[in-house]
Amino acid sequence: MEKVLVMARTARPHICSAGEIFWDGKIGIFPFIEQVVAKKNSKNRHAGTVETKALQSITKSIIRSVLMKKCFSKWPLGACKEIWIQQDYARPHISPNDTEFVEVATKDELLQAIENAYNAYDPKSLNYTWLHMQYCMLEILQVNGGNDYKNPHKGKRRLERMGQLPVQIEVPSDMMLQGQSFIDEGHTDVNNTQEDSNEHNMSQRI
C-alpha cells in the first residue's frame, strides 16, 4: 500500500447539553503531497500525466503554512481565541532517504479514503477522547508525574446515556497539594521543565 504523511488536527467538540453537536471538533486533515507533471513516459503513465507524490522534506515554512492557512482559518466563531499548539521533539527535516516517507502516493483513492474516514469519525467519540485525557491527567498526578499510571476506565458512554457525563474533570485539592509538595521537595527541576516547554510549545493568540 502506498504511504503518505498526513496531519490530522482536532479539538474538543462543542456539544450542547441536549446532545446537539454545535461543532464537531474537526479542524482538518492535511496530506503532505504535491502535484508533479511526469517528464518521461513509463509503463505506468505517459509524459505530461499529473502525479500525486509525497513530499520528501517537511520544512518549518511548510508547517507554518499549514498551521496558518489551514488550521487557524477553520477555528469556529465564538470559540476561545487563545490556541496552544504543542509540538513534539521531532526535527522539522527528515532524511531524503527515508524509505517510507518518500514512497509515492500514486492513487488519489488512498487520500480520499483517509479523508472520508476522518469526516465519518463520530464527534461524540472525539469528545470521549478529550475527556479521557483529563481522566489520565488525574492518574498521572496520582503517581507524581510518572508513566506507570493506570489507564482509567470510566464508562463514558454509559454515563452519557444516564445524562451524567461530565464536561470537565476537577482536580481534587488534596491531589494538587500532593503534587506541589512533590515539586517543593526537589524531585522536579521546575526551571528546566519550563525552558523545555517554552522551546517546544508556542501560544498563538488570534
Over residues 138-178, the pLDDT tens digits come to 999 999 888 889 999 999 989 988 888 888 888 899 988 98
Whether the per-residue pLDDT at 189 is higher than 60: the answer is: no
Q: Quick one: 164 and 195 in the same domain?
A: yes
Is residue 1, in this structure, part of any structural domain at all?
no
Q: Quick one: 23 and 100 in the same domain?
A: yes
Is residue 113, in this structure, part of any structural domain at all?
yes
Radius of gyration of the chain (CA): 22
What's the chain's average pLDDT?
75
136: helix, coil or strand?
helix
Do residues 206 and 68 lie in contact, with contact meaning Cβ atoms separated by under 8 Å? no
Element spanning 35, H or E: strand 33-37
**Which pTM was predicted?**
0.51
Q: Quick one: 131 and 193 in the same domain?
A: yes
Task: Determine the Cα–Cα distance for residues 162 and 23; give it in Å rounded to an integer.
Answer: 23
Query: Residue 104: pLDDT band by 50, 70, 90 thresholds?
Result: very low
Q: Quick one: 70 and 132 in the same domain?
A: no
Domain total for the chain?
Answer: 2
Query: Residue 92: pLDDT band by 50, 70, 90 thresholds?
Result: very low
Q: Out of 56-65, 92-101, 156-165, pick the least confident.
A: 92-101
Q: Quick one: 95 and 176 in the same domain?
A: no
Whether the per-residue pLDDT at 180 is higher than 70: the answer is: yes
Query: Residue 88: pLDDT band by 50, 70, 90 thresholds?
Result: low
Q: Quick one: 90 and 181 in the same domain?
A: no
Q: Quick one: 67 and 20 in the same domain?
A: yes
Is residue 206, in this structure, part of any structural domain at all?
no
**Which residues form the domain of 76?**
6-120
Q: Quick one: 16 and 105 in the same domain?
A: yes
Q: Which of 120, 155, 173 is the last residue of a domain?
A: 120
- What pLDDT score was predicted for residue 198? 43
**The one-letter amino acid at 58:** I
N-terminal to C-terminal alpha carbon distance within the chain: 40
Highest mean pLDDT out of 18-32, 52-66, 127-141, 175-189: 127-141
pLDDT digits (tens, 9 = 90+) for 18-49: 788 888 888 888 888 888 888 888 887 788 88
User: Residues 90-117: what's their mean pLDDT?
Assistant: 56
Q: Quick one: 21 and 93 in the same domain?
A: yes
What proportion of the chain, given as a percentage, has pLDDT over 70? Answer: 69
